[in-house]
Every structure is written in C-alpha cells, then in structure tokens.
Structure 1
Amino acid sequence: MGMKSQASSKLAEVTFIVLDLETTGASPTTGSAITEIGAIAIRGGQVLGEFSTFVNPEMLLPEYIINLTGITDEMLIDAPSIKEVLPEFMEFIAQHQNVHLVAHNAPFDLGFLKAAANQISYSWPKYEVIDTVKLARRVIDRSEVMNYKLGTLSKFFNTQALPNHRALDDVKTTVEVLHRLIERLAGHQVFTAAELKKFMR
C-alpha cells in the first residue's frame, strides 16, 4: 500500500501495532535495557496477531524494577537476547501493511527500540507513531481525568484489561484505551490516517 493510499485510509483500515516494553530503568542512554516486549496487531477492532517475549538484559535487575514489575532475574536468565528478539519483533511488524505503531508514552518505548536496533546495527524503519498519552490529552478534558496515566485512563474507560507493568497486559489495556479514544475522534471530524496525523500536530 503506497503512502498516498495509506494516508487516505480510514482508521478502520489502519493496522495498529500496539506495543509496550518493560525495562531495567528509565533510559537506554544511561545503560538501561529491555526486559520484555509485548505487542498486539489490530485492524478494525480485530486482533491480527500477538507478540510477547522476555528479553535477557544481560545485567541484574534493580530492586525497584523487580518490585514494580514482578519480573525477576531468574525469569530472564534463559530468555533470548535483544540481538535474537529484535529481528523477530521487526518481522512481526513488517508482516502487516498500513502500519501505525501505538504506545502509551511512545517516546519511551521507541527510544529503547531504536537504541536496541542501533546496538545490533539494524536500521529501525520509519513508521507513523501514535502516542496514546498525547491523543488522550487532545480528546479528554482535564476536567474529566486527574492525569493521563494508563491506570487513570483504564479506570476512566472501565477497561476489562488492567495495567500491571507487564508488557502484554499493558498492551491489552492500551488497545482498549485506543479504541475508546478513536471513538471520540469522530466528534473532532477525524476519520482517516491523514486527518489523525494533522490532528496530532
């Protein structure tokens, strides 16, 4: 599908790859690494596929990360390295057409993925990216919610999935939040990928 047809695609025709990472810390620039990747591909409300794996960060986890995520060093010791995982994850994304990547606080996740790609001398492809934090700020007034954290939006929309700092569970929550945010876009006359891109500027 070419760029022109991609941009004019109705949102129901777009493949959203909703993703979430768990990591050893706040930033790849300070030596933090990915410990878990979760992703779900959806189009028109239908699930097209799932991706979920632990990643061995090749370092010990800080105590606060163990407490936050419930992920332990023992759970990661036999997990594949990012060198093994990232090509598989990139293939999972590439098998779909008309892709938009979606994440809650997308700069965090994309920062780690791009750093990991660079680390193994891969070129991270250019994708349209939707940050559900940014989108929520555009369509939900601050009088309706205290903040735009995933847990807050999960309660606001009464999602079935609940965020718990595990990658795939957080992705499932983000999928539900995304669908509810897209419902609100109609009130802003946003119906296509191009209109969404313009709306998010």
Structure 2
Amino acid sequence: MIFYIYYVQTRWNSSLYMLQSLLEQKRALSVYAAERTLPATLTVNQWELMTKTAEVLVPFEELTRDVSRETASAADVLPAITVLRRVLSREEEHDQGIRTMKRTLLEAVEKRFANVETEPLFYMATLLDARYKDGFFTKSAHLTLAKDHLIQEVAKKTEERRATTSKEPEAAEPDEHGRRQRCWSPPTPPLPPPRLTEAEELVLSQVTE
C-alpha cells in the first residue's frame, strides 16, 4: 500500500515532505500511468522541477530542525541565517526553472532577518561560541560593532568586580559616652586591580585576533 503526504497550509515543510513522497514513488507512479489511460501525467521536465524544488527546500528543513533541538542556543541563529543566504544566492548551472523561487526565498530571508547581525543576543552568543566566533558575519561593520560591544561588556564586568572587592575602612569603636573616637590609622594602600578570569581572557583573545 502506498501512502502520500499532502500539503498542509499551516506547515511550510509539508510542501517538502509531499514532494519527497512523490519522488520516492516516482517509479510506481510511472508504471501506474503507463498501464492506464489517465487525463494527464507528469512530464520529465515536471519531475525534474520537483527534484530541484525539493533540493532548495532541504536546507530550510535541516536548519529548522537544528535550531529546534533541546541543545540549540542563540548562537545557532546567526550562522543558520548566513548559511541560508549563501545557499540561496549561489547560482548553479542547473537552476533553470527555480531561479525565481530562489530569489523570492532570499528576499524573504533578508526581510525577516535583516537585523539578526545587529541584535546583541545573537551576535554576543555567536562571538562567544567556539564553533562560530566571527566567521558568519556578512558585513564587516556589524562584526566591528559586535566586537566593540563585547569588549565593553567585559570591561564593565571587570570594573564591577573591582568595585565589589575594594575594602571599606572599619568604623571606630564608640567611647563610654557613645561617641565614636577618631583614631589615626595609616592609609590603606590601594588594592591591585583584580586579574581577569580565564573566561574573560579567552573572550578578549577571541575578539582581538
């Protein structure tokens, strides 16, 4: 028994599953069409167009699954969008019949994710992820902005840690009348600045390479 997957309007990937299901049953459908008189059948060009369309949609399905995993993080978003842009903008010799579709999909990706490289949540996570670092930024200005912001955040956290480690002077003990005596004590030498943690040193080394 042959089962087919149908298109569901609320699920974009149902289009891909439907095409893949038909392509898997191509031989059986061709035999069925040859043994019977049908009002219409798929031509060779139509089968080829279905194959090309499925190939274009496969990266969307793979990346959708990747960013939907329980172990996925915000660092996966920016690289995923960059990969989609590269796949859709790459021109192939066998793109005849799907060039308009690829261009339309690329325009949709650009529109929906126009600000992904300037969103702190995504570019911070990407820079700090050892798998990606700065390899998936499409514009040098966005990369410079991201690195500068990251360095500023590290410096800010270092200053906050330095402030919390500063030692406050001890208050004088009150006398028998309840008054506090002012006792002279030698000035406390300034504390040396706290050393950067290994994580902070790693961050600075990554963004300044």
Q: Which TM-score tier does this pair reach, normalised by the shorter chain?
A: under 0.3
Q: Per residue, is there more strand in 1 or in 2?
A: 1
- TM-score normalized by structure 1? 0.24
Q: Higher relative contact order by CA 8 Å / sep ≥ 6: 1 or 2?
A: 1
